[in-house]
């Protein structure tokens, strides 16, 4: 039986599984990361197209079933563990498996999964900031998470995930899904969403860690004025009193709230601060 505490809701519509797989345009040199393989239905479809599939299942019983069902799929590796070591770190066992796969398969790293609700946002954030960065994500998530992925500045759903996705690539809604296509049925709608990283956007980011620090500083106090948030700076960000000049150069009104700033504004601030540190 699915475990509610693990957020297990299995997609049972085969047509929708095919839609998710087809949306990714998988090649035989690509590495696919799947999280929450269940009994392996989606995993098998991924294995027919990808060079390597690394699927992570926290439930020991389901992992054993999947291993039995997929024993003839030689390019599929099933790892029985939690995908996240902690909220801000992907399990090192999984990172190592992806790195090993990359030595033989030089294509993209793709996250393709019916994501457990509890793991969706932290996992995607980790795959945007490294150490393993996904070239694309094709996921089924709770509709509320999908709304956060696509939210523009000023929207009530706009947050850290929205900023990182907009700063590094492009998000598109594939389809909204009703509870009836899952077993057991969740209490809310879900959605299939795609994310494709944009090399030009990523090239503009001079230091991803510094961008993360800037976003976290302001979004932790998202309803305070921008100029007030700087009082909470620590680490590298506490080394400047030049915030008014940074705001001016980025055309940011210091009385705005962090939730009103675009991803481009956050990238611009982080890049200026990077230049400031280089000059010291």
Query: What pLDDT score was predicted for residue 8?
Result: 62
Query: What pLDDT score was predicted for residue 88?
Result: 81
pLDDT at 7 over 70: no
Q: What is the mean pLDDT of residues 248-271?
A: 97
Domain with CATH 3.40.50.150 in the chain: 4-199
One DSSP character per residue, 159-184 reads SHHHHHHHHHEEEEEEEEE-GGGEES
Query: What pLDDT score was predicted for residue 225?
Result: 97
pLDDT at 4 over 80: no
Query: What pLDDT score was predicted for residue 6?
Result: 45
- Considering all CA atoms of the chain, what is the largest pairwise distance in Å, rounded to the nearest integer? 62
Q: What is the mean pLDDT of residues 34-53?
A: 95
Per-residue model confidence as pLDDT tens digits over 188-205 = 999 999 999 999 999 999
Per-residue model confidence as pLDDT tens digits over 65-113 = 999 999 999 999 999 999 999 888 999 999 999 999 999 999 999 999 9
Q: What is the mean pLDDT of residues 41-45?
A: 95
The verdict on whether omega for the bond into residue 131 sits within 30 degrees of 0, i.e. cis, is yes
Read off the pLDDT band of 215 (50, 70, 90).
very high
Strands 84-86 and 76-79, bridge-based pairing? unpaired
* The pair of three-digit structure tokens given for residue 137, joined into one six-digit string: 């994500």
Domain with CATH 1.10.8.100 in the chain: 208-279
Q: What is the mean pLDDT of residues 161-186?
A: 96
Q: Which residues contact 220 (CB under 8 A, 6 or more apart)?
A: 229, 232
Read off the pLDDT band of 2 (50, 70, 90).
very low
Say how many residues make up the chain. Answer: 280
pLDDT at 157 over 50: yes
Query: What pLDDT score was predicted for residue 188?
Result: 94
> Within 13 Å, how many C-alpha atoms sit on residue 264's CB side?
6
Mean pLDDT, the chain, integer: 93
pLDDT at 1 over 80: no
User: What fold is seen in the domain 4-199?
Assistant: Rossmann fold (3.40.50)
Domain 208-279 coded CATH 3.40.50.700: no
pLDDT at 57 over 60: yes
One DSSP character per residue, the chain reads ---GGGT--EE--HHHHHHHHHHTT--TT-EEEEE--TTSHHHHHHHTT-SEEEEE---HHHHHHHHHHTTT-TTEEEE-S-SEEETTEE-HHHHHHHHHHHTT--S-EEEEEE--TTTHHHHHHHHHHSSS--SEEEEEEEHHHHHHHHPPTTSTT-SHHHHHHHHHEEEEEEEEE-GGGEESPPSS-EEEEEEEE-HHHHHH-S-HHHHHHHHHHHHTTTTS-HHHHGGG--GGGGG-S-HHHHHHHTT--TTS-GGGS-HHHHHHHHHHHHHHHHH-
* The pair of three-digit structure tokens given for residue 183, joined into one six-digit string: 């077993």
């Amino acid at each position: 039986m699915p475990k509610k505490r693990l957020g297990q809701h299995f997609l049972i519509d085969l047509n929708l599984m095919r839609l998710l797989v087809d949306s990714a345009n998988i090649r035989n040199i690509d590495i696919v990361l799947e999280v929450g393989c269940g009994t392996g239905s989606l995993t098998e479809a991924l294995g027919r197209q990808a060079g390597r599939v690394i699927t992570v299942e926290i439930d020991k019983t389901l992992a054993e079933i999947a291993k039995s069902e997929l024993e003839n799929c030689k390019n599929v590796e099933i790892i029985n563990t939690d995908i996240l070591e902690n909220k801000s770190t992907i399990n090192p066992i999984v990172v190592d498996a992806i790195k090993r796969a990359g030595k033989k398969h030089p294509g993209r790293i793709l996250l393709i999964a019916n994501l457990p609700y509890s793991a969706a946002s932290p996992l995607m954030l980790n795959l945007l900031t490294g150490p393993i960065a996904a070239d694309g994500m094709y996921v089924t998530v709770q509709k509320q998470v999908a709304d956060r992925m696509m939210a523009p500045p000023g929207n009530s759903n706009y947050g850290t995930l929205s900023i990182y996705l907009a700063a590094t690539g492009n998000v598109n809604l594939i389809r909204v899904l009703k509870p009836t296509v899952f077993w057991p049925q969740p209490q809310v709608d879900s959605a299939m969403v795609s994310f494709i990283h944009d090399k030009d956007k990523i090239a503009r980011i001079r230091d991803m860690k510094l961008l993360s620090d800037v976003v976290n500083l302001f979004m932790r106090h998202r309803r305070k004025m921008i100029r007030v948030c700087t009082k909470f700076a620590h680490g590298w960000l506490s080394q400047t009193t030049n915030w008014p000049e940074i705001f001016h150069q980025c055309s940011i009104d210091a009385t705005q709230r962090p939730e009103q700033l675009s991803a481009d504004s956050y990238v611009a601030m982080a890049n200026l601060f990077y230049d400031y540190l280089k000059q010291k």
